[in-house]
Structure 1
Amino acid sequence: MIQVKDIKKVYNGVIVVNVPQLEINKGESIGLVGNNGAGKTTLFRMMLDLIRPDAGEVLSEGKPVAGGEHWKEYTGAYLDEGFLIDYLTPEEYFYFIGGLHNQTRAQVDEVLMHYGEFFNGEILKKGKYIRDLSKGNQAKVGIVSCLLQTPQLLMLDEPFANIDPTTQYRLKNIIKDINKSKGVTTLVSSHDLNHVTDVCDRIILMEKGRIIKDMATSSSTLSELEEYFAIGQSVHHSSTVIDPEENH
């Protein structure tokens, strides 16, 4: 479904992403992990044509993402609150997103009913603008707006970061359900190794712009990752790379 070919991104003369090859198959659930500056968000942004690589290309369903429109029809993504229209209420934003996908207000309302527990009574009918919501509640709006689109590909950057434990549990169930029952390809970046190994069948570990490990999730994956990060980056690489696009 997604092919990454020889992509590089350079800031101030420093290579912050360098991925010769990466293939993500339809229906896979992928977890992307790595420390700050690993290049995770930059990679996501290149996959979404928000920034352009300095070399190489990203293909979605065999066609270049850069300058293309085809992939937008089946891709839902939430990276941060910058994806939202913060002067709207959540309801107004959901109706706007639904309208872009030819959904009536009644159809949007029907979908939203399924996320009542996930919203936990904090989103709808509160009379608040999105900008006045907490970061966690903004994330809920962003995530559900993706799901409204019934995507074939869902990309979430640090979705567990600002939400409470109950909502984290509910979000994990949502992600696992759409992957297993609907065949949605899911890409989730996270600092929380427990969550990402629970949700994803394949883990990609990035460090300083490179893919260090690409492994199928097993009973030993969590302990392997914990051991890797416990050793510390200094053992693996002596230099430090700062990724200005990496927000997490």
Structure 2
Amino acid sequence: MSVYREYITAATPEWVGLPKGKSQGKIGARFGNMVMSTPNARHMKLPLYGHDITVLLRTDFKFGLPDPICGPQPYHAHNAHLACMIAPTMEYDFHHLFRPFLTQWWTPLPGNPNLGKLDTEIVLTLSRKGNAWAKDILQQVEDIKKGTAGTTLRIEDISVDKLEPSIWRLKRLWITLRRPATLEELQWRYVNAQRLELNLRSHIDFEFIYSKRFKNPPEVPLLTNNGRMGAMTTHYPTAQMLYHCGLPVW
């Protein structure tokens, strides 16, 4: 993946609300002939602009820096939900979505060392937490339909036609984790279940929380939610929009 030099802005950022002397960003770094700064993130990230990136499947069955579940991605309007994705964390409510797969969870079947089963408790943890979240979201959708949700959201604002099939696919993935398979196959299923739930959560959070903010950003920047992935951009107005909406931006 590469971005031509003419798509990298030369504009010097000026961020509203930052202390004097830091109006160009809280932290910044130089990468070759490119400088990147952030007004609200805690850490600097390697830019996914201005250089070639080889996307490879890693031993953890993820794709490294260009993987949306591993780190912030370049912002595009058609996948704006990625900026709203939960950032990697060890918090209890989200730990199951980032817990690395451990080979000791896999036990070979008697008489067939090539096939094995995943630890039942691991599968139950993944499905219990995901099920609880899915049940809550579906209930919120029903409340919005009835007008009892206590929100200005309308049912037209939510992709209901995509929500239920996506939850069904997620539940199917949990079921496949209970079935015998090779170690590599079960690891692939495990990471895909995490990926699907993270992606689904980001879609829901975008529609429930961030969509209207993106269209009409507040004049005063919201408190940054560092629990979100945020995004990178070379487009200064987009960076301002994300900053004012309370998402980390680089």
TM-score for the superposition, normalised by structure 1? 0.31
More strand by percentage:
1
Give TM-score, length-normalised by structure 2: 0.31
Which structure has more relative contact order (CA 8 Å, sep 6+)? It is: 1
Larger radius of gyration: 2
